Each structure stands twice: as C-alpha cells, then as structure tokens.
Chains A and B, each alone.
Chain A
Amino acid sequence: MTESLSTSPGVALETASGDGLRRVAIDPLSRVEGHGKVTLLLDAEDRVQQARLHIVEFRGFEKFIQGRPYWEVPVMVQRLCGICPVSHHLAAAKACDMIVGATTLTPSAEKLRRLMHYGQILQSHALHFFHLSSPDLLFGFDSDASRRNIVGLAAAHPELARRGVLLRKLGQEVIRMTSGKRIHGTGAIPGGVNRNLSAEERQQLRAALPEAIDWSRQAVQLVRQLFEDNLAVYREFASFEANTLALVRADGAMDLYHGGLRARDPDGNTLLDDVDYAHYWEHILEEVKPWSYMKFPFLRQLGADKGWYRVGPLSRVTQCDFIPTPQADAERIAFLAFDAGRAARATLGFHWARMIEMLHAAEVIAELVDDDDISGSELVVRGSSARRGVGVIEAPRGTLIHHYTVDENDMVVRANLIVSTTHNNQSMNVAIREVARRYLDGRTLTEGLLNHIEVAIRAFDPCLSCATHALGQMPLAVELVSNGGDLLDRRSRY
C-alpha cells in the first residue's frame, strides 16, 4: 500500500512508502496517559519528512458493550480512563437521555451533572498542569529528567506543588459528592442523576472555593509569566495553523457541558456554528490509517487532507465569544490580546488556556454550590424512548462524542466513541513534525529532541488509553531500530 507524501503544513501526513526515507523511533513517551511511540521519517537529505504518533494500545469498548443494556453503559464506559472517567460517564448519560426521551432534565439534575463535570475539569486540569506539565515549563525542557517531575516540583516549588495537589483534591471531592466515588462513580443515570448534595457537603465545598479560585487565577498568571520570560520560544514552539472544533452555547458562551458544534478555519472563518450534535456524522468523519489504532477525524466539508482540526482548551478559549464567569473571561481577553494574539495561536498556549478553564471551573462550582437546586429532590425524567442516542461533552482534553444504537430489547447493538485525543490526532502529528524539523540535528536522536517532542505532545494533554478503540484486524507493526536510527527490520500485518 503506497500513500502520497506531503510536506506542506496543513496537509495530512500520510503513511510513507518508505522509498528514500529513513526511520527513527522514539519509545516510549512518559507523563502522558497511556503509551505511545513516535516515528520520524527522514528524507534523503535527513530532513524530517513526516512524524507519526503511533498508538499501540487497544481498548475495544465499542465492541464489548454490544449486547449490554444501555443503562449499564454510563458506568461501564467510564472505565476507559482513570483521569477523566466523568467525561465518559456524562457523555454516555447524555446519549442515554435521548434513548429514554429525557429531552430536558430537571434543574436539579442538570446542575448536579454540571457540578460533577466542572469538578472533573478542575481536577484534570490541575493534574495536567501541576503534576505533568509544569516541571517541563518551570525547570526547562532540557533540564535533568530525574528532577523534571512532580517530586522535583515539590522540592523546588513546594507551595506550587501543594496547590496542585489540593486543587485536584477539591475537584475529586466534587466528583465524590455527585457520583458517590472520586473515581468511577454512578451519579448520572439515564434521564437524570441518582443523588443530590446535602447542606453539609455544600458547606464543605463553599469553604474551599475562595482559595481554589485564587490559586487558579495565580496559575493563569504563572503561565503568562512563563510566556513573558520565554516569549521567543513559547511563541513558536510546535506551532502550526489548524482548524478548530468545540461545543459552544447558543449565545456564544463557553459551555463545557452542553452546546452546539462550532468549527472555524485558521483565519477565523466559521465552518460550523450552533450545529446540533445529534447528527454529528453529517459534519465529522473518521479516517483509518494502517499504522495507528487511533482514527483520524476530519470535517466532512473540507475532506480528509484539509479537514483535520484541533480541540481542547486552546480551541475552546479562543473560539467562544465569552466565558460566562467574570475572572475567567477577563483572563480570556488578556490571553487573546497578549503578544498581538500570537499566544492564542501557539501550541504552548494550550497551557494558558487550560488554566483559564481551571479558573472558570472553580468559579462555576462556586456558583452552583450556592444554588439550592443542587439539593433538590426531582432528579429523573423520562419521555418517549428512542433507539439512538448521541451525547457530546467538552471533556478536559476536548470534544467527546458518544453514540449508541439500541435494539427493541434495550440492548446496545452499535457504539461509536470519538474521544478528545482522537480529534487531536493529526494536530499532534503536525506538532511533533514541527518540533522535529526545528530540533533534529543530523541523523542523531538527542535527549533534547526527545524532551522537546514530549513537551509538544504533552501540551495536548493526550489520553492515549482512551483514544484507541477500533476493533478488527488492526495493524500491528514491530520495528527494529538501531541506535543510529537505521531500520533493521519491520514486521506488520496489514
């Protein structure tokens, strides 16, 4: 199988025929969820022709939930992940809402789900920034790897590390109160939720929120400071032009729980806006490539080569019209204005946007905790049942699509999950290629290059274990690469 090659930015990086190309492999990646492998393909002049982030994990959830009752799905599919299970739990529950005909949830149910979701955003973003990425940013991409982790952070910046741990803990507490467990609870059920919050639980959260909001705001300032101190690098690092996709509320506000699909091209032209996600397949298709278990989604109107897009905090913060909480919106405006808008287009801008969202999440939680509806008792509604359900949510890492079809006996017969990291598949490949082109020196893989590639991938906060779920005769490639990077052997089944 021979596929076309392309060198121009914005065009798909296809599988190489191998002619005239040399292969170097970087394996494994650390501090991302799951396992990944990167292959760089060089041309005859040793220039980086292509980059591939191989996803070698296999999940299979879409297959083994077939034949199971739909009400089991929100609990089962969250086992895709231990970091953002709430996102899968809620996306599946939203899909099940359609199946049970719950077109509008009760105010209590909707707000309790939102509370759970923003608790999830808070804990996941705190985990990503403080535990996973801040060591790179604070110590430098090329600093001692043994120090560049949360333990090193705790030694050098104990207060920052403490805040990261406590912010994550607060988010996990919100999840526990709304779902019964910090990880893999059961709060959302088809048509609503199964629990509310007591006055004591609300008071416990209320007491912790002022500090959480303050720390989140300072985290935004920390990323801004990092940009100011390293502007030349941060502005350019792994940057590229991309289409964007995100859920946005009908009035243009950021809404991470529910909204319509909005897509824009790199120039800001609107490709989709306020599109009902119930028919997402009319706008988004997935392409399969033989070298990865992770599919390549694209916007149908632009085609597979040009229709790939970027999701996640950077897309959401830059594409919404406003953030409906005051402090986060002020930070959004400052972010968009910084460096004449270039930070908002930079790959490392993901971190800045992520911290703005963390601040937003803390503000939303504070609003919801003061809303008596979260202690209400009307928690479930039902309507006319349907055979198909689609649930879409903005997970911490980006747009998450769950789609189920059930038979006349309530059993799932078909499922399609398009997770955030899958949406970012092509974007990550492009980011890696841009880094490799800049930092690969000759034919030798240096520790510095590996570090830079990892930093680029980590900006997307990929969750590789969630992202691989295709089933069938999937490609399994085994490559033998010498220390010098020469491909000695390669076996595959495709």
Chain B
Amino acid sequence: MSQTFLLDGVAVPFQAGQSVLQAALAADRYIPHLCYHPEFRPHGSCKLCTATVQGRLVASCTTPAAADLVVHSDTEELRALRRTLVQMLFAEGNHFCPSCEKSGSCQLQALGSDLGVTTAGFRHYFPDRPVDASHPDAWIDFNRCVLCELCVRASAAVDGKDVFAFSGRGLSKRLIVNSPSGKLADSLFAVSDKAMHVCPVGAILPKRVGFAVPIGERRYDQHPISEQALADAPRAAGEPDV
C-alpha cells in the first residue's frame, strides 16, 4: 500500500521522489502553478503553488512528498495570496491580452481567470522593453516574460545551447540572449528547440503564426487551467528527465 499525505483533508498517495505538487496532480488534485513543468526539475520561483505544509508556507513543487504531511492549498487565504502574485506578475510586464496571440492558451491569463483576478491590484510599471524580432522564424516579446526560467532550463538541459539566461537582480532582473549582439538572430536558437515550446506566456513565439488557432479551439477555451493541468499531468511517478 502506497504512502499518503493529507491535502485539504483528503489522503493523496505518493511515490518516492515525487513532490507534493506532482503527487497532487497525479491524484487529480489541482494546485495552481506557473513555473513548474513536468519535464523539468522544479524551480520554485513563481510561488503560485505555495501551500501550507505542517503549518508553514512552502512551494509545493519543491517540497518532497512525505508520509503524513498535512497540506492545505484550497483555502481562501492561499487563493488571495495567489491572486496577489498574479496581479504582481501582470503589473511588472506589459500584458495586453486583447491583442496577444497567446490569449486563450496563456497560463498567466488562464491562472488569472481561474483564480478570479478581476482587478489590477497594483499600479502597473509599464516597462519599456523592445521586442527582439531579429530571428527569421521566432520573436521574443520581453514585455510578457514572467521570469519562469523554463526557456533557460530547456535551452541548457535539452537543447544544449544555453541561448537564454537571466541578468540583473530584483526589479532589474530580465531575460537575456547569449549572443555577441544580444540578439536572437545571432544565437544558436532554432524553432525546433525545446526552448521554443515551453514558454507559458506569449514571450517566445514562432513568427507568422499569430491567431491561426480560432477562438474555441485554444488551449483553455474548453476547460479552465485547473482542469487542463490535471489532464496534462503525468501519472507516472519519479524525477523529471532533466
């Protein structure tokens, strides 16, 4: 018989090596998350998956599941905290959903909708971040980057190219391109790279695709992210491949 921990009063089975978040998703128990991706080692930076474990606030994606843990996620206090985190992410960038081609398939937008983020909450910074459209097949809209580091991780671990990195700290922290000019065109990046396909928002996109997917068929048109994430979650236990 597998071991379990308690998530919001319900016993959740887990296997050795699973995080609280992985075990929860595998058991069809949704915990909101953004920078977590099942194919990559957890990063714990976005804090959307914050839960209380034994009374302490922790990132559930980086907390190993253990027997008899008492985990709370679906509480009003944590929902309010997550709404605030999403509001902060929106405030730090320029996220104009009405004209963004990722709209309907964007995890940040879907989280905002699912969590009930209906107001700005904070005065927006409106940063001035010119796009990098130098690459013939892809473009980067830094205005939409939420610093999840998935592209950094994918480029380094899967593509073996280290095309992306972070620079600066705090509010000055930003995504940069490792190339002599700092432009994507001068990097080793290719649209077939894993880094091309892991961006949860509309920051790294293929060119000339735009709004090809009609409304109604986009990723979160039929099911909210809280349902879609469960459908996508790996059921097998164990460490991510990379």
Contact bitstring B212-227, A, C-beta under 8 A = 1, else 0 = 1111100000000000
Q: Which of A176-216 contact B (CB under 8 A)?
A: 179-181, 184-187, 189-190, 194-195
Q: Is B209 an interface residue (CB 8 A)?
A: yes
From B183, which residue of chain A is reached at the shortest CB distance? A409
Q: Which among A69, A76, A190, A194 is the interface contact of B98 at CB below 8 angstroms?
A: A76
Q: How many A-B residue pairs have CB under 8 A?
A: 61
Chain A residues contacting B16 (CB-CB under 8 Å) are none
**Is B214 a contact of A69 with CB atoms below 8 Å?**
no
Q: Are A67 and B214 in contact (CB under 8 A)?
A: no
B101 within 8 A of A: yes
| Interface residue ranges of B179-218 to A (CB < 8 Å) | 207-216
Taking a contact as CB atoms closer than 8 A, the residue among B130, B210, B216 that contacts A72 in the complex is B210
A181→B98 CA distance, assembly (Å):
12
Q: Is the interface of A mostly helix, strand, loop or mixed?
A: loop
- Asked whether B215 lies within 8 Å of A180 as measured between CB atoms, the reply is yes
Q: Which B residues lie within 8 Å of A265 (CB)?
A: none
Given A69-B210, A189-B211, 6 further pairs, Cβ under 8 A: A67-B131, A75-B98, A180-B215, A190-B210, A410-B207, A410-B208
Please, which residues of chain B bring their CB within 8 A of the CB of A68? 99, 131
Question: Which residue of A has the minimal Cβ distance to B211?
Answer: A186
Q: Which residues of the partner chain B approach A69 to less than 8 Å between Cβ atoms?
A: 131, 133, 139, 207, 210
**A189 with B134: CB separation less than 8 A:** no
Q: Which of A68, A71, A74 has the most CB of B within 10 A?
A: A71
The 8 A CB mask of B91-133 against A (1 = contact, 0 = none) is: 0000000111100000000000000000000000000001101
Instruction: Please classify how large the interface on chain A is, using the bins under 10, 10 to 19, 20 to 34, 35 or more.
Output: 20 to 34
| A71 / chain B contacts, CB cutoff of 8 Å | 101, 208-211
Q: Is the CB of A194 within 8 A of B99?
A: no
| A residues 355-383 in Cβ contact with B at 8 Å | 380
Assembled-state Cα–Cα distance A100/B212 (Å) = 14
Contact A67:B130 (CB < 8 A) given known A72-B210, A179-B215: yes
Q: Given A79-B98, A409-B134, A185–B139 Cβ distance below 8 Å? A: no
Q: Which 10 A-B pairs have the closest CB atoms?
A: A180-B215, A71-B210, A76-B99, A409-B133, A195-B214, A186-B211, A194-B214, A411-B133, A75-B99, A189-B211
Residue of A nearest to B215 (CB): A180
Q: Which residues of B contact A380 (CB under 8 A)?
A: 212
> Given A67-B130, A67-B131, A409-B134, are A185 and B215 neighbors across the interface (CB < 8 Å)?
yes
Q: Can you name 15 A-B pairs with beta carbons within 8 Å?
A: A67-B131, A68-B131, A69-B131, A69-B207, A71-B101, A71-B208, A71-B209, A71-B210, A71-B211, A179-B215, A186-B211, A189-B210, A194-B211, A194-B214, A195-B214
Q: Give chain A residues whose Cβ lies under 8 Å from the Cβ of B213.
A: 194
In the assembled complex, the Cα of A76 lies from the Cα of B216 at a distance in Å of 19
Q: Hey, which bits of chain A sit against chain B, CB under 8 A? A: 67-69, 71-72, 74-76, 79, 100, 179-181, 184-187, 189-190, 194-195, 380, 409-411
CB B102 to nearest CB in A, in angstroms, measures: 11
Fill in one digit per residue for B31-53: 1 if any A CB lies within 8 Å of its CB, else 0: 00000000000000000000000
Closest to A407 in B: B133
Who on chain A is nearest to B136 by CB? Answer: A409
Of chain A, the residue at the smallest CB distance from B221 is A180
Closest chain A CB from B125 CB (angstroms): 17
On whether the beta carbons of A186 and B215 are closer than 8 Å, the reply is: yes
Q: Are A410 and B133 in contact (CB under 8 A)?
A: yes
Is A79 in contact with B139, judged by CB distance below 8 angstroms?
no
> Do A79 and B133 form a contact, CB below 8 Å, given A194-B212, A194-B213?
no
Interface pair A180/B214, CB less than 8 Å apart: yes
Among candidates B130, B134, B139, B214, residue contacting A186 with C-beta atoms closer than 8 Å? B214
The chain A residue with its CB closest to the CB of B185 is A409
Of all chain B residues, which has the CB nearest A65?
B99
Interface string of B1-39 (1 = CB under 8 A from A): 000000000000000000000000000000000000000
Closest to B100 in A: A72
Q: How far is the CA of A100 from the CA of B98 in the complex (A)?
A: 23
Give every chain B residue within 8 A of A189 (Cβ-Cβ): 210-212
Residues of B within 8 A of A195 (CB): 214, 216
List chain A residues, Cβ under 8 A from B214: 180, 186-187, 194-195
Residues 123-173 of B at the A interface (beta carbon under 8 Å): 130-131, 133-134, 139
Task: State the CA gap A187–B216 with chains docked (Å).
Answer: 11
> Is B208 within 8 A of A181, CB to CB?
no
Complex interface: chain B residues within 8 A of A185 (CB): 215
B-chain residues with CB within 8 Å of residue A100 when the two chains form the complex = 208
Please report the C-alpha to C-alpha distance between residue A10 and residue B19 in the assembled complex, in whole angstroms. Answer: 78
Docked pose: A187 CA to B208 CA in angstroms: 15
Contact A72 B215 (CB under 8 A): no
Measured CB to CB, the closest approach of chain A to B72, in angstroms, equals 38
B144 vs chain A, min Cβ distance (A): 12
A100 to B208, CA, bound (A): 9
- Contact status of A180 and B216, CB under 8 A, knowing A71-B211, A79-B99: yes
Question: In the complex, are the beta carbons of B131 and A181 less than 8 A apart?
Answer: no
Which A residues touch B131, using CB under 8 A? 67-69, 411
Q: Within the complex, what minimum Cβ distance (angstroms) separates A225 from chain B?
A: 42
Chain A: CB-nearest residue to B202: A72
Task: Return B197 CB to nearest CB of chain A, in Å.
Answer: 19
Closest CB in chain A relative to B120 CB, distance in Å: 18
- Measured in the bound complex, the distance between the Cα atoms of B71 and A413 in whole Å is 53
Q: Could you tell me the distance in whole angstroms from the C-beta of B214 to the nearest C-beta in chain A?
A: 4
A71 to B212, CA, bound (A): 10
Q: How far is the CA of A72 from the CA of B205 in the complex (A)?
A: 12
What's the least CB distance linking A361 to chain B, in Å? 23
Known: A67-B131, A75-B99, A411-B133. A181 touches B215 (CB 8 A): yes
B residues in contact with A67, CB < 8 Å: 130-131
A68 to B210, CA, bound (A): 12
Task: Give the docked Cα–Cα distance between A184 and B96 (Å).
Answer: 14
B56 to chain A, nearest CB (A): 44
Cα distance, A72 to B210, chains bound together (Å): 6
- What is the CA–CA distance of A72 and B209 in the complex, to the nearest angstrom? 10
Q: How far is the CB of A111 from chain B (nearest CB, A)?
A: 16
Complex formed: what's the CA distance from A195 to B209 in Å?
A: 14
Nearest CB in chain A to that of B132: its residue:
A409
A72 and B202 CA atoms in complex are apart in Å by: 12
Question: Nearest Cβ in chain B — how far from A344, in angstroms?
Answer: 40
- The closest CB in chain A to the CB of B99 belongs to A76
Cα distance A184–B211 in the bound complex, in angstroms: 13
* Separation of A189 and B211 alpha carbons in the complex (Å): 7
Are B139 and A184 touching (Cβ within 8 A)?
no
